[in-house]
């Protein structure tokens, strides 16, 4: 009987104690998808490309998320190339057993991959196989047996109010900037103020266009998944943005990036991350003092000052209140630290 290896193939290979499926008529080896190499037959390559488009267009995942997911899937395919003894095919994917998936997780553990990284890799595999089943390409129930590694309970690590104030003052003085030009110092200070003063993610701040910052009391921000939210803008933040725009020697178009590099292109996150690293060194701050820690600080300081969780959730753009509730643990820990330091019987 003639085998059909088109993109809609549902062939299930017969197996013994090990995977022996081989895909015939391979014409695509080492195909680049999103800058990452996949070794698979043509039908699987087409499916991976379609999945990537689905992530970006329908799930509206950020470019960073899509790239990370594609890399995770490519790592799994690289494992399968050795494990299966050849390029990946639908037959091979459909024939995978729970033991094969566990072998992949064991390989990651042997490579000392972080538990958070492996947890994401497991999520990517489940999502990819769900997509294949929805498209009637592959059905494999064994993937549901995958268990994510137990992750340590993470609590945000914000700066103290005095540390945050010191960072803002130092950034305003140019301590965060590698380039001595005054407009660059004003630019970097404005970005950091957006993170701390408005609780933006670094990608959200650098994704702003000129029209988004018009000096109004509320700014429309595009967050994860393309979701938009309005965030209040403090007068101090608006003044910092205005100062940067006035000092910038480059033309800032309404439809172009608000924050630009020296060549006029949209500013990259690495520039701000490096600036924060300089501030950490000069101010003696802990390694946890990153640009994202300024967002944590925004939420924690609001909560400590009486802000309610629902409002903070909306300001941060969290889809789930559970994510925002992590900041109550920080506030409680701070309260206990103050109690233990100040109460006369705390150390008895």
Residues designated catalytic: 201, 224, 292, 295, 318, 327
DSSP label at residue 136: T
- Cβ atoms within 10 A of the Cβ of 157, count? 16
Rounded-to-integer distance, Cα 74 and Cα 63, Å:
16
Query: How far apart, in whole angstroms, are the C-alpha atoms of residue 71 and residue 216?
Result: 40
Please say whether the beta carbons of 237 and 198 come within 8 A: yes
Q: Where are the alpha helices (DSSP H) in the chain?
A: 42-57, 63-84, 90-94, 98-110, 115-134, 161-172, 182-198, 202-206, 235-247, 269-283, 291-304, 309-316, 321-324, 326-342
Distance from C-alpha of 206 to C-alpha of 218, rounded to nearest angstrom: 17
Q: Which of 145, 132, 55 is nearest to 98 (CA)?
A: 145
Distance of alpha carbon 116 from alpha carbon 135, whole angstroms: 29
Q: β-strand 228-232 against 218-222: which pairing, if any?
A: antiparallel
**Radius of gyration of the CA atoms of the chain, in A:** 25
| CA atoms of 240 and 187, how far apart (whole Å) | 8
Gap between the Cα atoms of 159 and 302, Å rounded: 13
- CA atoms of 41 and 88, how far apart (whole Å): 6
Q: Burial, 179: exposed, middle or buried (Cβ in 10 Å; 0-12, 13-18, 19+)?
A: middle
Burial class (CB in 10 A: 0-12, 13-18, 19+), 56: middle
**Distance (Å, whole) CA 91 – CA 104:** 18
């Amino acid at each position: 009987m003639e085998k059909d290896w088109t993109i809609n193939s549902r062939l299930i290979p017969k197996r013994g104690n090990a995977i022996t499926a081989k895909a015939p008529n391979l014409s695509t080896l080492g195909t680049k998808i999103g800058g990452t190499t996949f070794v698979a037959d043509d039908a699987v390559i087409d499916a991976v490309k379609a999945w990537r488009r689905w992530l970006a267009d329908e799930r509206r995942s950020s470019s960073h998320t899509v790239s990370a997911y594609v890399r995770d899937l490519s790592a799994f395919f690289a494992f399968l190339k050795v494990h299966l003894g050849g390029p990946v095919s639908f037959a091979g994917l459909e024939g995978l057993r729970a033991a094969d998936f566990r072998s992949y997780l064991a390989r990651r553990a042997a490579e000392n991959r972080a538990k958070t990284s492996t947890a994401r890799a497991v999520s990517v595999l489940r999502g990819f196989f769900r997509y294949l089943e929805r498209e009637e390409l592959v059905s494999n129930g064994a993937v549901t047996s995958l268990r994510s590694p137990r992750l340590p309970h993470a609590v945000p690590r914000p700066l103290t109010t005095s540390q945050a104030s010191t960072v803002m003052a130092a950034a305003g003085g140019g301590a965060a900037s590698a380039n001595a030009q005054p407009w660059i110092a004003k630019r970097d200070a404005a970005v950091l103020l957006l993170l701390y003063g408005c609780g933006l993610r670094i990608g959200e701040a650098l994704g702003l266009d000129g029209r988004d910052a018009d000096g109004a009391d509320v700014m429309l921000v595009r967050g994860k998944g393309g979701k938009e939210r309005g965030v209040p803008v403090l007068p101090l933040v608006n003044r910092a943005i205005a100062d940067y725009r006035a000092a910038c020697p480059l033309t800032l178009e309404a439809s172009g990036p608000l924050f630009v590099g020296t060549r006029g292109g949209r500013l990259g996150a690495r520039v701000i991350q490096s600036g924060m690293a300089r501030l950490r060194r000069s101010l003696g701050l802990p390694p946890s003092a990153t640009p994202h820690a300024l967002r944590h600080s925004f939420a924690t300081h609001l909560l400590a000052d009486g802000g309610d969780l629902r409002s903070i959730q909306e300001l941060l753009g969290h889809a789930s209140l559970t994510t925002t509730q992590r900041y109550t643990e920080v506030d409680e820990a701070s309260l206990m630290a103050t109690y233990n330091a100040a109460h006369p019987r705390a150390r008895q």
